[in-house]
Every structure is written in structure tokens, then in C-alpha cells.
Amino acid sequence: MKIGDLGRATGTSVETIRFYEAERLLPAPARNSANYRVYELAHLERLSFIKRSRDLGFTLDQVRELLRLADDPGNSCAGVDVITARHVAAIDRKLADLAALRSELVRRLDSCQGPTIADCRIIEALSPKGEAAG
């Protein structure tokens, strides 16, 4: 299996696969006579794991840790739970931040009286002189 096949099979770009190899997330595969990378099933499985983890928003460092834990079936599951729970907490913070941000923006959009910048409540709210309107 060549790098393009692996990319199609996992939904990962060729460049990203090479990047993961440089980052030591994915072991360097064998090369054929043309110096092309030749991947085995194990690579496909490992890259799938990485892809799923990334799709779930884990950072590469978290993925590294998850891979390390997953590599030994005798490890305690607690480490995985901690990483996941922390990640959920981080997502909760982001959700709260974004929701606050959104309501602020919508409030400004709704109050915009236009038609020109001179009357625009959004610009007014962003400008220091528009403090009272913010």
C-alpha cells in the first residue's frame, strides 16, 4: 500500500502522513526500489486511531499519550479516562466562551440601526466612544 492509498483509506492527506512520520506518531515504513513508502496493515490501523482521535479534538500530544497507553493492554484505563475527561472540560470551556461571544455579536447585530457607519451600533460598540452602548 502506497502513501496515496493509505491517505484515501483513512481520509488523511499525503502531506499529513509524512508529517506524522516526521513527528514519530507513525513508524517509518519500508521503502520499495523507487524509494516509495510501502505501508502494512499495522500502519493503517495506527493512522486510523490517530485520525479518529484528531477528529475528536485531541491534540497531537494527547494522541501520543493515548497511543502509548493503548499500546499496552495491561495498562490501567484510568489514564485514558483522565485525558478524555480533561478534554471534555476544555471543550466545555470553549463552548461557554463561544456561546457568550455569539450572544454578544447577535445583540450588536440586532441593535444595528444603519444605514451608514455613523449610525452603526456594531462599530459604535467596538469604538471607545461607544462604551455607553456596549
How many beta carbons lie within 10 A of that of residue 42, not counting itself?
Answer: 11
Cell of 36: 516509495
CB of 33 to its own copies, least distance (A): 29
Which of DNA, its own copies, none does residue 132 bind to, with CB < 5 to 8 Å depending on kind?
none
87 makes contact with its own copies (CB under 8 A): yes
Q: List C-alpha distances in Å: 49 to 32, 70, 99, 115.
A: 25, 10, 31, 52
Strand, helix or coil for residue 24: coil
Which residues are at the interface with its own copies (CB under 8 A)? 44-45, 48-49, 52-53, 56-57, 66, 69-70, 72-78, 80-81, 84-85, 87-88, 91-92, 94-95, 98-99, 101-102, 104-106, 108-109, 112, 114-120, 122-123, 125-129, 134
